[in-house]
Amino acid sequence: MAIASNFPAIRPSLNLDFANAKALDPRISFSRASAATYYDGKTVAKAEENLLLRSQEFTSTAWTKLGASIAQVNLVAPDATATASSLTEDSSNAQHYFTQSCTTSAGLPYTFSIYCKAGGRNFGAIYLSVSTFPVGATVFFDLSSGVITSTGAGVSASSIQGVGNGWFRVSISAVGTASGTGIAAVYLSNSDSSTAAYQGDGSSGIYIWGAQLEQRSQVTAYTPTTTQPITNYIPVLQTAQAGVPRFDHNSVTGESLGLLVEEQRTNLLFRSEEFSNSIWAKFNTNVEQNVAIAPDGTLTADKLFESSTALVVHGLDQAITTSANTYSASIYAKAAGRTKFRLSSNSGQSPAAEFDLTSNTAIPIGSTSSATITPVGNGWFRCTATRTVAGGAEAFQIQLMSAASTAYIGDGYSGIYIWGAQLEAGDKATSYIKTEASQVTRAADQNLTAALGQPGAGTIYVDATVRSGNTLATSGATTFPATASTRQKTAVAYDATSTRKSINGAAVTSSAGTQGGSNISIAPGATGWISKLSIYPQKFGDAHLQSLTA
């Protein structure tokens, strides 16, 4: 007999299609006493952007040279590759610089940045053209002391930041005054004055690498280009305010997962997005603060990068005291020169795992029961590990890895981007909870329908994916256990004589009869997604139960 002919013709008395409707039935009450995070399946934010061409190939015709020459030299760049170039002045009494044309729009902010290192000249300037930007949009800098020496009146922001081995990243921001084609330029200078015209000696200059132009008001992580500009986007982690249900989605595919229901959880870590804070102890690493667009669409992701010291472990950690329990540790991570890292602890008792951000693999370490790596878009992954511990003084620790080792000689630059650290008591990591100066608790999602059950006989259908706990329980009728992290379609038919159940189209199983209750509730201890929930005012036969769940 075909499944279609077995499908019940009777309509449900309650049909909650959370995945498609993305709304609560007016008969459903809902509460959650705090804000909580989720993905809405549609909102994205601009992440990395570089509007310039050939951002490391300054000998290319994409770049115009005036009073100067550029050569590719065998010098280690800030990304530890031998790809830096030299900018050398000629012997004319003039300005010595190179430029690239760029199309900009009036009223929008732009930021131009480049990495520079002294090479006979210590002084230089970066500039945005007066044809499309304010007059005076120029920043002079000193590479010997690592400071901005002069800032033009048309500049809205500027910065110079040391990145190791004598390299500095210099940036200038300004708002476009006209739409059209302007230029981004880098000048040599023989002093820290406000002029770049001087008698060149034909041999002095600076080293350059990694030019970038972004349509935004501040500099972000460098993204190389070749023949085309690059603009990347990232799905944005949303925040639902207290009392607002979350209709969650797969952040990468956009698939609607249904109503997200979670138990109460507390993020036990402090400063979950502020890894430069002193509460995070660094060992043979440095933190570059707020340099990349994080999974919530804000410029709050940090770069954790290794020192260039000898054969040592490179990482950071936060001390934490635990009790005997099962804990889940999680962190959002993205490759930034290093593609592997380890979640660990100083005692070897906390959840531990190794993660590969290229092959997308997670390997539990020791007695860690599970580890997962989940893509969340634009190269970001949420990495989690779960373990049962005896309790005591612990640490949430991140260790960078080179190949298969955590002890190696660092290059002073490579690392990973990190954001959103979380440690919670529970057998699965739940939605991200931001913390600052104190631990933060996300309240449980609680849902209840009143007077909708079938007291004598009925059938309940649930399509859900469970992280932990029972998906839901009905008053006086039955509960719906499920396999963790597996989507499961369950239909339960009941009356006073027997209770019949089918899961994912499997053969029907039977248990003692039950008296249906007057309500159906989602248990506060449940954690997962409910795609659909239907109540039928009739006890279906076995064939119908299997067709509903097939």
On whether the CB atoms of residues 181 and 133 are closer than 8 A, the answer is: no
pLDDT of residue 479: 58
Pairing of strands 256-261, 247-249: antiparallel
Amino acid, single-letter form, for residue 1: M
pLDDT of residue 164: 85
pLDDT tens-digit map of 386-440? 999 999 998 999 999 998 899 999 988 899 999 999 999 998 999 999 999 999 9
More confident position, 150 or 476: 150
Instruction: Count other Cβ atoms within 10 Å, centred on residue 385.
Output: 29
Average pLDDT, stretch 223-252? 97
Highest mean pLDDT among 161-165, 332-336, 388-392 belongs to 332-336
Q: Is residue 31's pLDDT more than 50?
A: yes
Nearest of 212, 206, 186, 211 to residue 87 by alpha carbon: 206
Residue 533 CA to residue 20 CA, distance in Å, equals: 12
pLDDT of residue 313: 96
Q: Across the strands, what pairs with 489?
A: 463
pLDDT of residue 423: 97
Average pLDDT, stretch 283-294? 96
Least confident of 230-244, 305-319, 387-401, 507-521: 507-521
Least confident of 89-93, 125-129, 270-274, 533-537: 533-537
Residue 545 CA to residue 539 CA, distance in Å, equals: 10
- The owner of tokens 């229901």 is 261
Residue 75 CA to residue 51 CA, distance in Å, equals: 25
CB neighbour list of residue 96: distance below 8 Å, 6 or more residues apart = 66, 67, 68, 87, 89, 90, 187, 188, 196, 198, 200, 205
The full set of domains in the chain, from first to last, is: 3-32+445-549 (2.60.120.200), 38-45+265-442 (2.60.120.260), 52-228 (2.60.120.260)
Instruction: Count other Cβ atoms within 10 Å, centred on residue 279.
Output: 12
**Residues of the chain by 3-state class (helix, strand, coil), percent to 5:** 5, 50, 45
pLDDT tens-digit map of 441-494? 999 998 766 455 556 788 888 898 877 654 455 554 455 555 666 788 988 888
Least confident of 79-93, 259-273, 499-513: 499-513
Q: Is residue 102's pLDDT more than 60?
A: yes
Q: Is residue 349's pLDDT more than 60?
A: yes
Burial class (CB in 10 A: 0-12, 13-18, 19+), 348: exposed
pLDDT of residue 465: 85
Q: What is the CA radius of gyration of the chain?
A: 29
pLDDT of residue 535: 85
Average pLDDT, stretch 337-344? 95
